[in-house]
Structure 1
Amino acid sequence: MAGVVATLLSSQAFAAGQCGMSSARQAFDVQGLKSELMVTALSCNVQDRYNAFVEKFRPDLTAQEVALNSYFRTTYGRGAQTAHDDYITQLANAQSERGLKAGVAFCQQRVSMFDEVAVLENATDLGGYAEAKDIVQPASYETCAAPSSLNHPARVRHIRAVRSSHKG
């Protein structure tokens, strides 16, 4: 299982390097950051700081959510909402597991992210910050752009990866 996850994450990094920053890639990065901050807020009892982050970046977070929805609609068609919901659930679970493994150190390491995002000024800053952070993602997605067909190889790889991860 660990080998599969490492392969998926390295393929995600490879894809990001190949295509640079796309709207889909940025949407995944920002969603990962938002989720990481939410897990941190709940785990470390700093919900007020999370609420301040959401309030400050509400238009940018909404725009990234629209881009993410577009990616899932284009990639998964009628199954878009289910795939999106699965992604969000897997993302929160992966980040929560990381927090549990880190124990007390998790809050010491992650609460400072709220100070870092507080000084960001705009959507460009937010996207760059999200890209640069070590944010756990549950699986690799083709994020250069959504494929034009539901039979796209990235979708097949994703389905195989998800099926493989459920066997272990």
Structure 2
Amino acid sequence: MHSTRTAWGLGKTGVAIGLAMLALASCSKKTPVAVLAPPPAPVGHVYPTAVQIPAVTSRRVKFTPAQRDAYQQAFNIIGLKSALMIGALSCDQRGQYDTFMTTFHPHILAAQHVMDGYFRRMGGWAGQSREDDFVTLLANNQSISAQAQGSLFCLNNSAEFKAVLALRSPRDLDAFVSDQAPQRPATVASTASASAP
């Protein structure tokens, strides 16, 4: 059976679909078959909401749990700002980005100051250089992720802008960057594959 699957280019999913079609064809009664629409484009968070904070480089630097939470929140906000900027430039969505920045400018600026403080505390005089390197690496990684999405990226980014622009307060923005991305619905192929013997 394995060699037959290989020759036809069928995996478990193809075999399961083929068997289901044979079973339907052999029925004397016409059974209605549900036509499944293709899964919708992903919505919700397009980008990871949690940005990994650079590790502490000195044993002398200690943070309380509350300080860690404040730093993580600031990094998440700056990460979202960076990702939305890439989308704005790549997908000609500058108007949405400008609205986001105008709406949340004081809160984003406060997050930027918290992030600046983290790098100052971590690196002293070299902190600014480390922060510049971090911001560049973050943007590069987000650009690579955007390219990997191909033609879906702008559609996904529109969904992210729609969600962000529905937020009304800094507290809403904080919750938005703290929440995990919603679960994506299982595709027909993965469901068929999981149920195949």
Range into which the TM-score falls when normalised by the shorter chain? 0.5 to 0.7
Quote the Cα distance in structure 2 between the aligned partners of 1:128 and 1:104. 29
State the Cα distance separating 1:43 from its structure 2 match. 0.9
- Does residue 127 in structure 1 map to residue 174 in structure 2? yes
- Does residue 86 in structure 1 map to residue 133 in structure 2? yes
1:1-168 mapped onto 2 (5 Å cutoff)? 12=52, 19=65, 22-132=69-179
Query: How many residues are treated as equivalent by the alignment?
Result: 120
Quote the Cα distance in structure 2 between the aligned partners of 1:37 and 1:64. 16
State the Cα distance separating 1:128 from its structure 2 match. 1.4
Describe the shift of the 1:133–1:51 C-alpha distance in structure 2 as closer, same or farther (beyond 3 A).
farther
Q: Secondary structure at the match of 1:22?
A: helix
Quote the Cα distance in structure 2 between the aligned partners of 1:105 and 1:133. 21
Match for 2:130: what amino acid?
A: A
Per-residue Cα deviation, 1:118-155 (whole angstroms, up to 9, x for no partner) = 12122121111112255xxxxxxxxxxxxxxxxxxxxx
Quote the Cα distance in structure 2 between the aligned partners of 1:74 and 1:40. 31
Describe the shift of the 1:133–1:56 C-alpha distance in structure 2 as closer, same or farther (beyond 3 A).
farther
Structure 2: runs of 5 or more not aligned: 1-51, 56-64, 182-197
Quote the Cα distance in structure 1 between the aligned partners of 2:144 and 2:137. 10
Describe the shift of the 1:113–1:64 C-alpha distance in structure 2 as closer, same or farther (beyond 3 A).
same
TM-score by length of 1: 0.66
Match for 2:74: what amino acid?
A: A
Per-residue Cα deviation, 1:25-66 (whole angstroms, up to 9, x for no partner) = 001100110011001111111111101100000100010011
**Greater helix proportion:** 1
Quote the Cα distance in structure 1 between the aligned partners of 2:159 and 2:98. 15
Quote the Cα distance in structure 2 between the aligned partners of 1:28 and 1:112. 22
Describe the shift of the 1:63–1:121 C-alpha distance in structure 2 as closer, same or farther (beyond 3 A).
same
Provide the alpha-carbon RMSD of the alignment: 2.2
Match for 2:156: what amino acid?
A: Q
